[in-house]
Amino acid sequence: MGKIIFILGGARSGKSTYALELAKKHKKVVFIATCQALDKEMAERIKLHKKIRPQGWQTFEEPYKVADLLDKFKVKFPVVLMDCLTLLVSNLMLKGLKEETIVNEVNNILAVLKKINGKAIIVSNEVGLGIVPNTKLGRDFRDIAGKVNQLVAGKSDEVFFMVSGIPTKIKG
């Protein structure tokens, strides 16, 4: 049965760095990147993120169907690192998918990860500590991201909350 580690925190809190540190303890890692380069600045960020990953890792860029991707190669790696859940939610929302479909995708991801014989690390942004967004899309995003964060935290074996680069274990 797979072990799920969930790492969340605010923007620039050190989530991805901590996730990489945990994963680097293993030689064989699958890295699932959900980010899309929709502009030049994001393309540069993606390029920098790729440079800091160990070369032996297998990277998949999948902005929508993470559960299908995981199921396809039946994860024969000791570690799967997905960065990040909130970008996946954003991608699915901008594709026009509704909350129920997004929650189903996340449930499917968790179901596949629980079946693997290894460890999964999922990174996400905590979106509930700021102001209420002033647009419906922003509020919908916050609500759906909060819901899937609760879902993943509930099914994770360990949960860490990052503050200024410091991981605080809040579950497990």
Residues tagged active-site:
49
**Residue found by looking up tokens 């759906």 in the block:** 144
Structure tokens at 121: 């690390």
**Distant-in-sequence, close-in-space partners of 47: CB < 8 Å, separation ≥ 6:** none
- 91: nearest Cα among 145, 170, 51, 15: 145
Helix axes of 99-115 and 136-155: crossing angle, nearest 10 degrees: 20
Helix (H, G, I), strand (E, B) or coil at 17: helix
In single-letter form, the type of residue at position 33 comes to A
Contact between residue 85 and residue 149 where contact means Cβ atoms under 8 Å apart: yes
**Residue found by looking up tokens 């939610």 in the block:** 89
- 17: nearest Cα among 110, 61, 83: 83
